[in-house]
Amino acid sequence: MPERRTVALVTLGCARNEVDSEELAGRLAADGWDLVEEAAEADVAVVNTCGFVEAAKKDSVDALLEANDLKDSGRTQAVVAVGCMAERYGKDLAQALPEADGVLGFDDYAQISDRLQTILSGGVHASHTPRDRRKLLPISPAERQGSSVALPGHGDSAPEDLPEGVAPASGPRAPLRVRLGRSPVASVKLASGCDRRCSFCAIPSFRGSFISRRPSDVLGETRWLAEQGVKEVMLVSENNTSYGKDLGDIRLLESLLPELAAVDGIERVRVSYLQPAEMRPGLIEVLTGTDKVVPYFDLSFQHSAPKVLRAMRRFGDTDRFLELLEAIRSKAPQAGVRSNFIVGFPGESEDDVAELERFLAAARLDAIGVFGYSDEEGTEALGYEDKHDEDTVAERLARVSALAEELTAQRAEERLGETLSVLVESVDGEDGVLGRALHQAPETDGQVRLLGDWAEGSEPQPGQLVLAKAVASEGVDLVAERLPGGEASL
């Protein structure tokens, strides 16, 4: 028998990319490829790139160059770029980075096995010409369902006789998927694309217009993940608050969440990427009052000064945002809230920065990401006047970042004495037992270090829920003591 082909997937960027990598892994496994963890042990290294901001693009290029180095010292014979950066730049990336043996766009995902085999055999697959993917779907959201446009995470029905561990083991769902890790947490794609036109963001141009996955597919995938040992699912998309608008029901998320929470084996359902301008009282009610649905709000504020927000093509202001937070905390006082902000935006004044600082001081956010503005090609803001020089942007970034670090540390201190439901994620001799409370999303919002007197081999295991009391803080991280009884429910 010929030696089986091996492939490793290297994933950069957000949770949406992680889901896309697991879809690619599922397609490859279903076609006979062996998946390996290390690129040095693979015939082909597939790098799932990020194309959001300059720093992420640099990381993607570095990962491709690092994988290319393995062709001289390891088993690796080919390096292939996929993902947002590959989709956004296509043949231009291929020309600028000849070290990549292939640059594949989203349209290639359904034929990923054939594409990799061609490249591995010494053939050439032409890199695609980038295009504005917003123009591939009808303008009317109601007319988008059933489109033949390639949408990562929205696959066709799977073939029969799938290998073990490849979805859909428990019944029809789309697309194929293989778990690439053993974490008790997994993301589920709720939708793709975005209809908003924020002046600083290029994502809609290469991810396309907004289109929802059908509830039955989301439910089927969640059931399959539960069978794989997943305890927490995180719903991801570019804008979860728009879910269902192309299916005729803008409140579809409110009815879907209780169904997901009722899936056997799932202990937590977390929703990410919420637009403040689209928050609804009914959605707040479901997020704060449904068993096993986490009272967690990943709100994309971006700024709070009205003039800056309007230039960003966004809505709201400091007082409206504080009113939204008050509405949330009136329902769930311990709710977790995180957000990202851009400083140094064209035309931003010192008064605007002071207004943002006023909001941050009053908002009591658990996690804050601060980014300095940089030009992105294909965005409206690229043509704006009144741009700040790099030193001004860097100064404001440093100043607001320092404030954010201080405020989130204070917010963690406010949680001392709280009873926490902690999902254990790792156990090792050096770091001990680590997990996350309800207000902490994976990788972005800090963690909890659990203290307890455990006999050797009796420590809580990954996927277990532990009831604990917060006794100390370390920046945004918490230290907690396991409470008697120890087992927790949401």
Question: What are the binding residues for [4Fe-4S] cluster?
Answer: 14, 50, 84, 194, 198, 201
d(CA 471, CA 478): 8
d(CA 314, CA 307): 10
Residue with tokens 């207000």: 439
Phi-psi region of 150 (alpha: psi -120 to 50; beta: other; left: phi over 0): beta
| 457 exposure class (CB count in 10 Å sphere: 0-12, 13-18, 19+) | exposed
d(CA 469, CA 449): 11
> Are the C-beta atoms of 219 and 253 separated by less than 8 Å?
no
Provide CB contacts within 8 A for 76, sequence distance 6+.
Answer: 39, 40, 42, 43, 44, 45, 67, 70
The token pair that represents 118 in the structure block: 């061609």
Half-sphere exposure of 3 (CA within 13 A, CB side): 5
Residue with tokens 């290469």: 206
Residue 427 DSSP SS3: strand
d(CA 274, CA 38): 34
d(CA 287, CA 445): 18
d(CA 260, CA 258): 5
Q: Give me the amino acid identity at 291.
A: D
For the annotated binding site, the residues are 14, 50, 84, 194, 198, 201
d(CA 50, CA 58): 9
> Are the C-beta atoms of 254 and 283 separated by less than 8 Å?
yes
* Per-residue CA distances from 215 to 218, 255, 288 (Å): 5, 10, 21
> Are the C-beta atoms of 393 and 372 separated by less than 8 Å?
yes
| Among 122, 96, 120, 151, CA closest to 45 | 120
Half-sphere exposure of 286 (CA within 13 A, CB side): 19
Provide CB contacts within 8 A for 373, sequence distance 6+.
Answer: 200, 342, 343, 344, 345, 346, 348, 381, 388, 393
Sheet bearing 367-372, strands edge to edge:
296-298, 336-343, 367-372
